[in-house]
Amino acid sequence: MTLSHDVAGDGPVLVLLHSGVCDRRMWDAQWPALIDSGYRLVRCDFRGFGRTPAPDRPHSDAEDVLELLDTLSIGRAALVGASYGGRVALEIAARWPDRASAMVLICSGLPGHEPSSDLGVLGELEDALIEAGDIAGAVELMVETWLGPEADEAAREAVRQMQRSAFEVQLAAAGEFEPIEAEIDLAAVQAPCLALSGGHDLADFRQIAAQLPDLLANAHHVELPWAGHLPSLERPSAVTDLLVGFLRERVPIG
């Protein structure tokens, strides 16, 4: 199955991978700015998000993304991943090192990470609300948890819409299939990496970002003191500037 996706622009390829509470629309603010900066952009919806149907069998999101790139005849690309999308980017860069030219990981997940009790409690609250049929309550829980204090109402409404859409697509599916977790070796990652974390994010994601320079051969960590878990929605232009500044040195244009 080919993931629902958008492609635009000319130049080195950037692949934008969304978080687990959003879909590919989370990159709307970065989309025109990155095209104007000289990149060819690809963004996709993982299975069960946005316009991609929920999975009907065991699957790998990383393999789905590679299949999409193969369909588009893209051999090598820079990967920009937010939260769960960052985890997918890390898997791609570890399993197929020659396919990733650079990475920007924004409040990224990490394969094999053991969730903290706080993250576990959040998941239990989300499950309880969904089982009680309170989808609106589950949506608001996600909005309040994942956006930092500087998020405006437009950002909050965008996350509200994307999270509600994901719940609706996934709850309407005939079965529930979690992504396959592949064994990966982070020592195989060759791509230079910028790891961003948010000062108002849950501790899990701040700790993961801080760890990445020790786990990867060429990674640099920057914490954004103003940010929650979704800084690209909270201060879009600031994150765009960070992306362009990092990538210009590692994925030259022209």
Per DSSP, the three-state class of 93 is helix
The mean of the pLDDT values for the chain is 95
pLDDT for residue 14 is more than 70? yes
φ, ψ for residue 17, nearest 5 deg: -115, 125
179 or 217: which leads in pLDDT: 217
Q: What is the pTM of this model?
A: 0.96
If pLDDT is split at 50, 70 and 90, which confidence band does 175 have?
A: low
Q: Which CATH architecture has domain 5-250?
A: 3-Layer(aba) Sandwich (3.40)
pLDDT for residue 174 is more than 90? no
Please name the amino acid found at residue 29.
Answer: A
pLDDT tens figures, 134-152: 999 999 999 999 999 999 9
Please name the amino acid found at residue 204.
Answer: D
Percent of the chain with pLDDT over 70: 98
Task: Give the E-state strand segments of the chain in sequence order.
Answer: 5-8, 13-17, 40-44, 77-82, 100-106, 193-198, 219-224
Walk across the sheet containing 219-224 and list its strands: 5-8, 40-44, 13-17, 77-82, 100-106, 193-198, 219-224
Residue closest to 159 by CA, chosen among 168, 146, 148, 169: 146
Domain residue ranges in the chain: 5-250
As a whole number of angstroms, the distance between CA 89 and CA 82 comes to 9
